[in-house]
Amino acid sequence: MTRALLIVDVQNDFTEGGALGVRGGAAVAEGVTRLLQDDPDRYTVVAASRDWHHGDDDNGGHFATGAEPDYVQTWPVHCVGGTTGAEYHPALDASLIDLHVKKGQGVPAYSAFEGTIDGGSGAGDGDGTVVGLAEALAARDVDQLDVVGIATDYCVRASALDALRAGLRVRILTSLVAGVAAESSNAALAELAESGAVLV
């Protein structure tokens, strides 16, 4: 059995002071780094996703343009690729990450499994093939996935559900997630547990 860690969207724009910052985001960044530093052999693979949106279009209707965002389907501009807001939070030690996933490149995307592995992270065989997270994990014989990150009620939820659909045994480390709102975050965790994830 091979266990991996998926760190979902621990980015400046999703932590305190960012365009869509959630309370507790910086603490998640610090906690994930501590987890990996305290037990460096815990995971065979560490993957991390980032929203990496276009800055010159509405990303398939994801960015609200010409109207106020509804915070359900449309959002303020956030995590534009190449900007500080899209970078990992500084408390997250990026040197501990093996696979870097970029998602939402021109389209709405909530799950890390909708993204592609950044070519510089050793995902494929160097031939330029686009590789998704499910394929990259399967190539490394991963069958168990711990999920942490932001936001519990959106991208953590979507990523964990897709991991379950991919046949992985999923655990949510509940002390290392942060959500937009308590009610929707609790509902997301309940849904994940009902779907087969283990809450740790």
Annotated active-site residue in 51, 153, 155, 162: 155
Q: Dihedrals φ, ψ of 174, to 5°?
A: -70, -20
pLDDT of 123 reads 45
Segments making up each domain of the chain, as ranges: 3-199
Instruction: Quickly count: other Cβ atoms within 10 Å of residue 169's Cβ.
Output: 16
- Yes or no: say if 162 and 182 are a contact pair by the CB < 8 Å rule: no
pLDDT band at 120 (very low <50, low <70, confident <90, very high): very low
Q: Quick one: which of 160, 137, 196, 180 has its CA closest to 14? A: 180
User: pTM for the full model?
Assistant: 0.92
Instruction: Quickly count: other Cβ atoms within 10 Å of residue 41's Cβ.
Output: 5
Q: Which CATH class is domain 3-199?
A: alpha beta
Annotated active-site residue in 79, 103, 146, 162: 103
Q: 102 an active-site residue?
A: no
**Average pLDDT of the chain?**
91
pLDDT band at 73 (very low <50, low <70, confident <90, very high): confident
pLDDT of 126 reads 47
Intra-chain end-to-end CA distance of the chain, in Å: 18
Task: Give the residue with greater pLDDT, 106 vs 42.
Answer: 42
Distance between CA atoms of residues 12 and 90, nearest Å: 8
Distance between CA atoms of residues 197 and 192, nearest Å: 5
pLDDT of 55 reads 81
- Is residue 9 pLDDT above 90, yes or no? yes
Q: Dihedrals φ, ψ of 143, to 5°?
A: -125, -5
Q: 9 an active-site residue?
A: yes
Helix (H, G, I), strand (E, B) or coil at 83: coil
- Is residue 183 pLDDT above 70, yes or no? yes
pLDDT band at 59 (very low <50, low <70, confident <90, very high): confident
Please report where in the chains the tokens 């815990």 appear, as a residue.
42
Lowest mean pLDDT among 37-46, 85-94, 98-107, 134-143: 98-107
pLDDT of 66 reads 78
pLDDT band at 75 (very low <50, low <70, confident <90, very high): confident
pLDDT of 127 reads 52
- Is residue 165 pLDDT above 70, yes or no? yes
